[in-house]
Amino acid sequence: MTIIFRVESVAEIDSTNDALKRRAAAGAEEGLVLRAGRQLAGRGRRGRGWVSEPGNLYVSILLRPAKAPIEAATLGFVAAMAIGNMVRVLVPVPVTLKWPNDVLVDGGKVSGILLESGGVSGGRVDWLVLGMGLNLRHHPADTLYPTTDLIAAGGPDLAPAQALDLLLAEFQPLYERWLADGFAALRDQWLAHGAGLGQRIVARLGPEEVAGVFAGIDPDGTLALTLPNGDTRRIAAGDIFFAAA
């Protein structure tokens, strides 16, 4: 199946994700792409605010993949891969993927991904809204992780519309492969650029912190952490930090 994207652009909006969730509930067809010049109420994972300076890319895509919720959740990995592939050819520094769905450019976070779903029936989600923010010209300071933007990393000065065209070109074949074969078929591609593999990391799971060696990810995206006693702990959600050498 080939998905056809239909791009709508607005100067300003509360949140591209919130707007597409409303459109999804009203029956909009998949492939609708909404790009905003500025968001007034942008959100990241776990309800964190997302600073939306004009000049960066803020976009959401409406999809209807008819997948079970656990499968649908792996689309965040696919989105990060698409952003990574796009940015990797534009900058002269390393571009890696940080579990679960961050893209790092020379160690600084350059993007944010927010995946939301709704309307589960018959064991499958009715719709997914995939929100993506990419720092093209600006990046916030005083954040949980180091951040950067495309220009600061030595990349070109892209207009948001140009960046969106490049991103959709990378996302489409990955999405179609994911639709057909699931994330298991793309897992090795993710691992080829995974940040911190084989290294000691700290996983923050709410009030709990767990340290160990990042052993890899399972076909469903779960992180495998080798504990100091040799046991493996699998982590489905959380934040990871790279331990000091």
Element (H, E) at 36: strand 32-39
- Whether 244 shows a pLDDT value over 70: the answer reads no
Quick check: 188 and 224 in contact, CB under 8 A?
no
Domains located in the chain, CATH noted? 6-192 (3.30.930.10), 200-242 (2.30.30.100)
Position 1 scores a pLDDT of 66
Position 86 scores a pLDDT of 98
| Window from 41-45, 122-126, 211-215 with minimum mean pLDDT | 41-45
Quick check: 35 and 7 in contact, CB under 8 A?
yes
Closest CA to 3 of 32, 31, 35: 31
More confidently predicted of 121 and 196: 196
Per residue in 106-125, pLDDT tens? 999 999 999 999 988 899 99
Q: 3-state SS of the chain: helix, strand, coil percent to 5?
A: 25, 35, 40
162: Cβ–Cβ under 8 A, 6 or more apart, which residues?
Answer: none
Q: Is the peptide bond before 100 cis (omega within 30 degrees of 0)?
A: yes
- Whether 7 shows a pLDDT value over 90: the answer reads yes
Position 51 scores a pLDDT of 57
Per residue in 52-98, pLDDT tens? 778 999 999 999 999 999 999 999 999 999 999 999 999 999 999 99
62: Cβ–Cβ under 8 A, 6 or more apart, which residues?
Answer: 20, 23, 24, 28, 29, 30, 31, 32, 33, 34, 127, 128, 129
Per residue in 164-184, pLDDT tens? 999 999 999 999 999 999 999
Closest CA to 144 of 194, 92, 202: 202
**C-alpha torsion sign, points 29, 171, 86, 80:** positive
The tokens for 178 are 């994911």
Q: How confident is the model at residue 191 (pLDDT cuts 50, 70, 90)?
A: very high
pTM (2 d.p.): 0.93
Per residue in 44-60, pLDDT tens? 544 445 557 789 999 99
Position 46 scores a pLDDT of 47
Rounded CA-CA distance 203/208 in Å is: 8
Quick check: 57 and 150 in contact, CB under 8 A?
no
Name the percent of the chain lying above pLDDT 90. Answer: 86
| Mean of all residue pLDDT scores within the chain | 93
